[in-house]
Amino acid sequence: MTDPMTSADGAAAEPRHPQQSPEKAAVGTSRRDLLRGALLGGVGGLVVGAAGGSVAGRTLISEDVTDTIDLSAKYPFYGQRYQGGVATEPQRHCVFATFRFAPSAGPKDLQLLLARWSAAIAVLQDGRTVGAVEPTSALQPPRDTGEAYELGPASLTVTLGLGPSVFGDRFGLARFKPALFSDLPALNGDFLDPKYTGGDLSLQACADDPQVSYHAFRNLSRIGRGVVIPYWTVLGFGRASAGPGQQTPRMLLGFKDGTRNIKTDDELNRFVWIDRSDQPWLDGGTYQVVRKIRMLLETWDADRVGDQQQIFGRDKLEGAPLTGTKEFDTPDFAARDAEGEFVIKPLAHIALVAPENNGGIMIKRRSYSYTDGLAADGSLDAGLLFVSYQNDPQLFIRMQNRLGANDLLNEYIRHIGSGIFVVPPAPEEGHYIGEALFA
């Protein structure tokens, strides 16, 4: 079989998987499977007419089923115990932004900002604009910048986090600081760039349309002007962590990411949601850790696949642990091969992070791919926007210190950005995030 990597003729290269036809390989999410039975020949046929009819040369694989993104879906903001964007099924796009306080910002400014942001987030998640795009008086600037007008809510969630500095002397809020919360210490494997590190507040705006995400970030930044200054932002795509019943997406190293992620309410309650803390106002909240992880893609791409699989401890295509055959098989970290060597190396990525090897602990990962274009040397500047949620920052710190010291993957990644924030619970209608701080 010819291959464009090595041959110059126009013939086709290998299909995606030797055991699957390309058509079969193109389907498989559980959403699609759920829709398949009901819609076969229905929506599929209609879409050919609607989307493909006027476009010459477009063909559809007839036995495939449309993967749907419902841009009218929305999440309520008020009356939830938890903020969205934590346990929420990962949306397809994300703008993650941190902010620094303006030098003049005082307690009243912070209070007003949290109230305004909360009101605006509620409106944005409802698919509305944060004020008129065309004010009645044409002499006014638009209240809303307008680029998401008519795009629909697109399952937007905006998650607001407070950095450790919120609880310093500046705002008189030190008494509300939970004992567990402080800046992340220096961690094994840190290559942090100050440009992408820290922040006083964070906003994570995830949606199924990137323009909806960007619009939320942009308009919330506008509302914050004079009080906060955007500090660093990442545009994430191709969510790399899956929710219940979802096919596990792949990050840019080509491996699935999220197979053993937190999925059940029980796991969320044990490891993610803060409950009965020393700060009752935080019950229903969580700690957010963000890491901008550059991947050295050219180096990785030159590594042989057998080594890549040893590094992860998983098979690349199926995502099965090297001791199993299916993605969701439980890894057997004690299994040895004929030579007496561990099948999954003790320093493989999945071995280091496995609950079995970490006293049973888990964290909720909610990551996205990103690209910043090219580095100065012409190499691909891309990687993973890692975001995790846990009810104790130590869960992340201990895990990352193990990984940073030992992970076979470290040769191929660099942790260049970092931040930690506490995410308060969601407010009731008529209230706002963090209101308890100003009671």
Among positions 368-427, residues that touch its own copies (CB under 8 A) are 369, 371-374, 378, 380, 382, 427
Q: Which is nearer to its own copies, 77 or 333 (CB)?
A: 77
Q: How far is the CB of 330 from its own copies (least distance, A)?
A: 22
Q: Is 50 in the site for its own copies (CB under 8 A)?
A: yes
Q: How far is the CB of 245 from its own copies (least distance, A)?
A: 6
Q: Which stretch binds its own copies (CB under 8 A): 182-190, 224-232, 269-277, 345-353?
A: 224-232
Q: H or E element: which one contains 371?
A: strand 368-374
Residue 431's nearest CA partner among 203, 111, 175, 101 is 111
Question: What span, in angstroms and rounded, lies between the C-alpha atoms of 382 and 258?
Answer: 19
Look up tokens 């013939």; give the residue. 11
Question: What span, in angstroms and rounded, lies between the C-alpha atoms of 193 and 416?
Answer: 5
Q: Is 337 in the site for its own copies (CB under 8 A)?
A: no
How would you label 382-395 residue by residue, b for 16+ Cβ within 10 Å and e otherwise?
A: bbbbbbbbbbbbeb
- Expressed in angstroms, the distance from the first to the final Cα of the chain is 71
Q: Which is nearer to its own copies, 180 or 380 (CB)?
A: 380
Q: How far is the CB of 49 from its own copies (least distance, A)?
A: 7
Q: Which is nearer to its own copies, 131 or 404 (CB)?
A: 131
Q: Is 26 in the site for its own copies (CB under 8 A)?
A: yes
Q: Which stretch binds its own copies (CB under 8 A): 211-219, 275-283, 327-335, 336-344?
A: 211-219
Q: Which is nearer to its own copies, 155 or 390 (CB)?
A: 155
Q: Which is nearer to its own copies, 235 or 354 (CB)?
A: 235
Q: Is 200 in the site for its own copies (CB under 8 A)?
A: no
Q: Which is nearer to its own copies, 323 or 400 (CB)?
A: 323
Q: Which is nearer to its own copies, 17 or 336 (CB)?
A: 17
Q: How far is the CB of 124 from its own copies (least distance, A)?
A: 9
Binding letters toward its own copies, positions 231-250, x by CB under 8 A: xxxxx-xx----xxx-x-xx
Q: Please, which of residues 284-313 interact with its own copies by CB under 8 A?
A: 297, 301-306, 308-309
Residue 80's nearest CA partner among 364, 425, 390, 424 is 425
Q: Is 13 in the site for its own copies (CB under 8 A)?
A: yes
Residue type, 19: Q
Q: How far is the CB of 99 from its own copies (least distance, A)?
A: 10
Q: Is 194 in the site for its own copies (CB under 8 A)?
A: no
One of 40, 43, 173, 436 touching its own copies (CB under 8 A): 43
3-state secondary structure of 413: strand
Q: Which is nearer to its own copies, 187 or 437 (CB)?
A: 437
One of 9, 278, 339, 341 touching its own copies (CB under 8 A): 9
Q: Which string of DSSP letters, residue by residue, matches 273-307? A: S--S-SSGGGTT-EEEEEEEEEE-HHHHHTS-HHH
One of 85, 91, 94, 117 touching its own copies (CB under 8 A): 117
Instruction: Please say whether the beta carbons of 272 and 288 come within 8 A.
Output: no
Q: Is 27 in the site for its own copies (CB under 8 A)?
A: yes
Q: How far is the CB of 11 from its own copies (least distance, A)?
A: 7
Q: How far is the CB of 351 from its own copies (least distance, A)?
A: 19
Instruction: Please say whether the beta carbons of 115 and 223 come within 8 A.
Output: no
Which residues does 312 contact at the CB level (< 8 Å), separation at least 6?
Answer: 255, 348, 349, 350, 409
3-state secondary structure of 424: coil
Side-chain half-sphere of 418: how many Cα atoms within 13 Å?
A: 18
Q: Which is nearer to its own copies, 113 or 187 (CB)?
A: 113
Residue 300's nearest CA partner among 288, 320, 316, 280 is 316
Binding letters toward its own copies, positions 64-103, x by CB under 8 A: xxxxxxxxxxxxx-x-x---x---xx---x----------
Q: Are strands 368-374 and 380-390 parallel, antiparallel or unpaired?
A: antiparallel
Instruction: Please say whether the beta carbons of 387 and 288 come within 8 A.
Output: yes
